[in-house]
Amino acid sequence: MTVVLNFDGKQLPEEMRSLPSGRYVLQSVDEVPTLTAEEEAGLEEAARSLERGEGLTPEGLRVEMGGTARR
């Protein structure tokens, strides 16, 4: 589950009030992490493979993931 919220640093956002009890990890989306050279190269290769028409259809992805992908 992903919940995007806006936090003013003072008041508990309404989006958090609707979450079930539990432990959560928050990460600011304003701070984009720097990719490693390997991650950057992997993304570039993935883009090239898509340009070559080697991407998967949504159904192909579901099959490859063993049926765990949601529709």
Query: Tens of pLDDT along 15-65?
Result: 888 888 888 888 788 877 889 999 999 999 999 999 999 988 888 888 888
pLDDT at position 71 over 70: no
CA distances to 11, 27, 33 from 6, in Å: 10, 12, 19
What is the predicted pLDDT for the residue at 52?
A: 93
Angle 11-27-24 from CA coordinates, rounded to 5°: 75
What is the predicted pLDDT for the residue at 56?
A: 85
Q: How far apart are CA 26 and CA 3, in angstroms?
A: 10
Structure tokens that stand for 60 in this block: 């192909």
What is the predicted pLDDT for the residue at 69?
A: 52
What is the predicted pLDDT for the residue at 70?
A: 57
What is this structure's pTM? 0.44
